Structure 1
Amino acid sequence: MSKNGFQSFAAGMIAATSVLSATFFLSGNAPTADEVALQKEVTETDVKDYLAKSGQMTITNEEYETLIKAKDQAANKEQQKATEKTAETEVKEQEDKPVEIKKYSVQIREGMTTGEVSDLLEQNGIITSAKDFNQYLIKGNYHREVQLGTFEVMQGMSFEELTEAITR
């Protein structure tokens, strides 16, 4: 671009800026209809009328707090009743069920380790932890006294009773 082209461009920019500035400052700051609506103060009656039209109502903070407390109390009562019913049901079910004690004939063969015997007892529901029973046998040096044969054991026997049964 030539020197004259730049000068013309600059003059056009100055003229456009002047026109926009004059329009802005001379137009005044008359508020629009939206601004007038926003500036109007909303009164309590306006709010109540709006709520009534939309099928709602107002309550005070005190009324709200009272309603919340009543709701919490009702929920607590329901939960307490449900807990009591559950407890009663469990007690009745336990009373109605005959207690079944599992019996098992464990057969100890030559070459079996105490770990294998413990696993058999756990698999058949006689003990809850094969690892714990095996450690009990080893710590008490009972693992050397385990006898070959078939032994009757029952669910609920203590480790000591089980050890006595298989070591004779």
Structure 2
Amino acid sequence: MTSKNLRGFSAGIIISTGILAGVYYTADTENRSELTDTAVEQYLSEKGELAISKEEYTSLTEAESAAAAPAKEEVEAEPEKEEEKVFQMTLTITQGMSTGEVCDLLQKGNIIKDSKEFLKFLRSNNLEGAVRAESHQVNSNMNFDELAKEITSS
């Protein structure tokens, strides 16, 4: 930075500081109202809300967490009873499709959860260029290795 640039930059800072100081000191502070208890109560009543003390809040949160603890156990028990749904699809890969497009199709068909993770897997195993352009039968029970073997020529 040359000395002329530095002087110009410094002058800009001084001028902008002067403008901000002028606005700050000439602002109308007389019309500002102070926040009072009655103003807060009026605001809360208009919004249909209620103010509570810290003690009431902590007792309510403790009661809520105590009530939620058994509910969490019930929620955790339910997924064990449910069977995981298996999604199946016929994946048709056409000539000229990118590997990223194939991964996106697998994600849209609920075969994989994250297309980027599968793409990283293919890249890390040097399988990105080995994807075959044809129809493949895939399902959501297949892991990344099985999917890669199905859609590649390796």
Which TM-score applies when normalising by structure 2?
A: 0.52
Mark the runs of 5 or more structure 2 residues left unpaired by the alignment. Answer: 1-54
* Alignment partner, residue 134 of structure 1: 119
1:80 to 49, 66, 80: 66
**Cα separation, partners in 2 of 1:116 and 1:77, compared to 1, 3 Å:** same
Q: How many residues align?
A: 100
Report the equivalent of 2:87.
102
1:1-168 aligned at under 5 Å gives the runs 76=62, 79-92=65-78, 94-168=79-153
Greater relative CO (CA pairs within 8 A, separation 6+)? 2
Shift of 1:143: 1.8
Q: Deviations over 1:27-66 (max 9, x none)?
A: xxxxxxxxxxxxxxxxxxxxxxxxxxxxxxxxxxxxxxxx
The sequence identity of aligned pairs, in percent, is 30
Equivalent position amino acid for 1:82 in 2: A
**C-alpha RMSD of the superposition:** 2.8
Amino acid in structure 2 at the alignment position of 1:124 = G
**1:119 deviation in Å?**
0.9
One-letter code aligned to 2:95:
E
- Any idea what SS the aligned residue of 2:97 has? coil
* Counterpart Cα distance in 2 of 1:79 and 1:135: 41
Query: TM-score, structure 1 length as denominator?
Result: 0.49
Q: Which structure has the larger Rg?
A: 1
Distance 1:85 1:145, change over 3 A: same
The answer for unaligned runs of 5 or more in structure 1 is 1-68
Specify whether residues 89 and 141 from structure 1 end up closer, same or farther in structure 2 by C-alpha distance, changes over 3 A only: closer
Q: Separation in 2 of the partners of 1:121 and 1:162? A: 10
